[in-house]
Amino acid sequence: MAKSRIAVVGAGLMGHGIAQVFALAGHEVTITDTVAQNLDSAKSRIAANLRDLGDDESAIARVTPRADLAEAVRGADYVVEAVSENLPLKQKLFAEIERHVRNETILASNTSVIPITAIMQGLKRRERALGTHWWNPPFLVPLVEVIETQWTSAQAVAWTMELHLAAGKKPAHVKKDVPGFIGNRLQHALWREAISLVEHGICDAETVDAVIKASFGRRIAVLGPLENADLVGTDLTLAIHETVLPAIDSRPGPSPYLQKLVADGRLGFKSGEGFRKWSAKEQAALRAKVFAHLKATRNS
């Protein structure tokens, strides 16, 4: 794929990592942020990541921080927004960005859950707007969901899919702008049942996690659920669903158990206790374990 000029708006956790991936793929990347400290530290954070991963550190030369939004996006072929998760902020930002880019520049939001339709509805040229949902850390988790709205052109989707594929990511085309896209719908369907098992006294939180990690969690990176259903047979899957689905939690809202945890201030790592207690040492150990696992499997 031809090298492009890419602008990343927001230099936080996701933005600096996205900039890193595109710079490593050979693109010229500008990055902007309204908080000077976040912008000023972006290059050193990217450099540290590249060093840690053993990636080509010369990629950092292709990253240019710009404090001014207009300067950052002017001349860009592609703009990806990774600012705070706030609808009015994102809407305002895209209206401003649209004033400074060419008509054909593709505009993407990395929102976690806000509908892309809501973010992009006020644009003059909505056919070039879409969602790209990366996963943290962007340089280690392969998936990028590419979400089209009712207005997005097929060309914008195809170009964006190719851009991410050529940068070593695994893009997935989400054909309708539904809440949670694909990945988070699946992930949170599982979390709902995980919480329900604890809420109903079937097991404790450690046991839920241990069961997953010691069973289908072992296979899931190489055997998706629908491959698995075909492997065991759709007839067996149907028989299992006839018995199990009526018993699985299907409440439409968040679990009362989860609501109580939050109301009680049991917020997880940040308060030292959530579904279970976490010492500072245990928190650091779990974070390090996840990072090491993602590093070891990044090219698989």
Ligand X SMILES: NC(=O)c1ccc[n+]([C@@H]2O[C@H](COP(=O)([O-])OP(=O)(O)OC[C@H]3O[C@@H](n4cnc5c(N)ncnc54)[C@H](O)[C@@H]3O)[C@@H](O)[C@H]2O)c1
Task: Report if residue 107 touches ligand X, rule: CB under 6 A.
Answer: no
Nearer to ligand X, 35 or 220 (CB): 35
Based on the residue annotation, tell me whether 86 is a catalytic residue of this protein. no
Using the rule CB under 6 A, is 195 a contact of ligand X? no
Q: Which of 4, 49, 110, 132 binds ligand X (CB under 6 A)?
A: 110
Residue 133 is among the residues annotated as catalytic for this protein: yes
Place of tokens 């008509």: 103
| Closest separation in Å from C-beta 262 to ligand X | 19
- Set 57, 71, 184, 193: catalytic member: 184
Residue 106 is a binding residue for ligand X (CB under 6 A) = no
Shortest distance, position 28 Cβ to ligand X, whole Å? 19
Query: Which of 6, 7, 8, 9: binder of ligand X (CB under 6 A)?
Result: 9
Please list every residue from 33 through 72 that binds ligand X, using CB under 6 A: 33-35, 38
**3-class secondary structure for the chain?**
CCCCEEEEECCCHHHHHHHHHHHHCCCEEEEECCCHHHHHCHHHHHHHHHHHHCCCHHHHHHEEECCCHHHHHCCCCEEEECCCCCHHHHHHHHHHHHHHCCCCCEEEECCCCCCHHHHHCCCCCHHHEEEEEECCCCCCCCEEEEECCCCCCHHHHHHHHHHHHHCCCEEEEECCCCCCCCHHHHHHHHHHHHHHHHHCCCCCHHHHHHHHHCCHHHHCCCCCHHHHHHHHCHHHHHHHHHHHHHHCCCCCCCCHHHHHHHHCCCCEHHHCECCCECCHHHHHHHHHHHHHHHHHCCCC
Determine which one of 41, 112, 188, 273 is catalytic.
112
Identify which range of 5-13, 51-59, 160-168, 246-254 contacts ligand X by CB under 6 A: 5-13
How many angstroms separate the CA atoms of 71 and 201, rounded?
Answer: 57
When the beta carbons of 9 and 25 are compared against ligand X, the nearer one is: 9
Verify whether residue 112 is a known catalytic residue.
yes
Are 95 and 70 a contacting pair, CB within 8 Å?
no
Stretch that binds ligand X, among 128-136, 179-187, 250-258, 272-280 (CB under 6 A): 128-136
Residue number with CB closer to ligand X (15 or 196): 15
**Does 163 participate in binding ligand X (rule CB under 6 A)?**
no
Please check whether residue 43 is in contact with residue 116, taking contact to mean a CB–CB distance below 8 angstroms. Answer: no
- Distance in Å, CB of 280 to ligand X, minimum: 21
Could you say which of 4, 10, 105, 160 contacts ligand X (CB under 6 A)?
A: 10
Q: Under the criterion CB under 6 A, does residue 85 sit at the interface with ligand X? A: yes
In the complex, the residues that contact ligand X under the rule CB under 6 A are 9-15, 32-35, 38, 82-85, 89, 93, 110-112, 134-136
> Which residues are tagged catalytic?
112, 133, 145, 184
